[in-house]
Amino acid sequence: MMTVITSSGNNKNSLFDKRFGRTAWFCLYDEETKKTTFIENTDNETSNGAGTKAAEKMVELKVEKVISGDFGPKAKDLLDKFNIQMVIIQDDGIKVKDILEKLKQ
Amino acid sequence: MPRRRRLRKVVAPPIFSGYKPYGTNCESDETIELLYEEYEALKLADYDHMNHQDASELMGVSRPTFARIYKSARIKIARALVEAKVIRMVYGNAWMDKKWFICNDCHSRFTIPKSVSKKSCPICGSENKETLKNQNN
């Protein structure tokens, strides 16, 4: 199962990004192989529709779970439609590796 | 850039998609868009007779914000009545609380789509979760 965590940088030590559509990087985590890959979000500078584009990307990547700080209404609708699980974490200052560790447990 | 709008919790979405006046001779294409959260605010305050403080806590917004949503709902409905306009329900900035759960151990919020068979918390695996409906603060 593929999980995406929104991240502000391209390694596990970077801070967890609380935005979904405008996050800098997506951390892709494969639960079977325990491997992580980082994908740059190319649409985080667009003036509108960033959430929609990010949600479309999630569908393309066949992600089943997205962990972020908040989801916009459009992204929420789309992710809902494609049965992608949304998880909201609102703790401040946590790192991507903290979340990965929790997931591995 | 203005501060983003927090989502307002809607417990019971409206069971209709709009209202239409009849017997009017001035047909107008203009519709008034009533947002889900405005409907919810009006319902909580005027139908369920809750005070603004309790209602705002239920919707997950501050009391002044609740008052603004409520005021906007009243203005829109009054305008629709007076000008004989069609009211159309629009999703707005709402989220339905039945789909969302909160984990009591790690405080993360999550949805459980149909395709997911595991009903435990996706972060810590705890079974100690509840729907946000029961959590009024």
Confidence tier at B65 by pLDDT (50, 70, 90): very high
**Which of B102, B110, B115, B119 to mutate to probe the A interface, most A CBs <10 Å?**
B110
| Domains along chain A with CATH numbers | 2-104 (3.30.420.130)
The larger pLDDT score, comparing residue A44 to residue B52, is at B52
pLDDT, mean of residues B7-26: 79
**CB neighbours of A45 closer than 8 A, spacing ≥ 6?**
none
On chain A, the residues whose CB falls within 8 A of the CB of B123 are 67, 87, 89, 99, 102-103
Q: Which two tokens stand for residue B60?
A: 């997950």
**Range(s) of the domain holding residue B135:** 96-137
Question: What integer is the mean pLDDT of B23-45?
Answer: 86
Nearest CA in chain B to A81: B113
Same domain, B48 and B86: yes
Are residues B38 and B51 located together in one domain of the fold?
yes
Task: Give me the mean pLDDT over the B7-35 stretch.
Answer: 81
Query: Is the same domain home to B65 and B30?
Result: yes
pLDDT at A34: 84
pLDDT tens column, A28-73: 998 888 888 898 888 888 888 888 888 898 898 888 889 988 787 7
Tell me, yes or no, whether B62 and B119 share the same domain. no
Same domain, B79 and B115: no
CB burial readout B109-129, b (16+ within 10 A) else e: bbbbbeebeeeebbbeeeeeb
> Do B31 and B88 sit in the same domain of this protein?
yes
Give yes or no: residues B74 and B106 share one domain: no
Q: Is residue B69 located within the same domain as residue B131?
A: no
Same domain, B80 and B100: no
Tokens (6 digits) for B29? 């294409």
Residue pair A81/A2 in contact by the 8 Å Cβ criterion:
no
pLDDT at B98 over 60: no
Residues B114 and B66 in one domain: no
Number of CB atoms found within 10 A of residue B74's CB: 15
| Chain B nearest CA to A40, separation (Å) | 24
ipTM passes above 0.85: no
Let me know whether B29 and B74 are in one domain: yes
Q: Same domain for B79 and B121? A: no
CA-based torsion, A72, B101, B111, B103: positive or negative: positive
